[in-house]
Amino acid sequence: MKKKISILALIMLVLGLSACGKSDGQATSGITQSVKTESSQEKKTEDNPNKEKDLAGASGTTEGITESKDNTQQKSGTLVVYFSATGTTRGVAEKIAGITGADIYEIKAAQEYSDADLNWNDSDSRSTREQNDSSVRPEIGSEAVSLDGYTTIYIGYPIWWGEEPRIMDTFVESYSFDGITMIPFCTSSSSGIGRSGENLADNAGSGTWLDGQRFGAGASEDDIRSWIEGLK
């Protein structure tokens, strides 16, 4: 009897160990599968470690292009260029820019003109000497301007001794005006525009030059607007 009980106990022990081994095997299999899955995911990441970085970079590039485009300064297509020693021509230039929506550029002399320089009663004043010598080219002190994108340029100056100041010749000889319509205007107390516009056209050697217009110091916006509309 004892022998039968021992055999039965032995059988139950064997069955118990078998069930336990099977359960352990399933657990081990599950752990193994989990490890394999994680390893596979890691390998995919390692195969393309820059995938997320590339996507971020592409997004960043798009934003950069958009921002650059937004910050690009758009030109109006029209530019007002002027030289003004006393401020009279500046006033007319600013009115033209306001009416046309044009950009504006001031020609400044590297050596500014003093009141003594502008004394036309002095035969030895700087301006008198310059105007008596058509070959003089005073140096421009303002930074160069890019004319790319402009199709129309109003170019203004005071009349000195019946002509354009020599610094205007310096300017027109420094640029190409191909494909640009050039419109001279001047200011004076009594003198007309004379040959100043033609002189500038000859010295420039490029551009399509229209007849110019003279304005007095008290030129109104309506007068200037009427002239501009008459050009169309």
Mean pLDDT of 5-25: 47
pLDDT of residue 86: 96
| Segments making up each domain of the chain, as ranges | 78-230
pLDDT of residue 223: 96
Residue 24 confidence (pLDDT) above 50:
no
Domain covering 78-230 in this structure, CATH number: 3.40.50.360
Give the separation between CA 190 and CA 170, rounded to whole angstroms. Answer: 25
pLDDT digits (tens, 9 = 90+) for 143-195: 999 999 999 999 999 999 999 999 999 999 999 999 999 999 999 988 999 99
Give the separation between CA 64 and CA 61, rounded to whole angstroms. Answer: 5
String of DSSP letters for the chain: -HHHHHHHHHHHHHHHHHHHHHHHHHHHHHHHHHHHHHHHHHHHHHHSTTHHHHHHHHHHHHHHHHHHHHHPPPP-SEEEEE--SSSHHHHHHHHHHHHHT-EEEE--BSSPPPTTTT-TT-TTSHHHHHHT-TT--PPB-SPP---TT-SEEEEEEE-BTTB--HHHHHHHTTS--TT-EEEEEEE-SS---TTHHHHHHHHH--SEEPP-EEE-TT--HHHHHHHHHHT-
pLDDT of residue 76: 78
Residue 26 confidence (pLDDT) above 80:
no
Average pLDDT, the chain: 79
Mean pLDDT of 211-215: 97
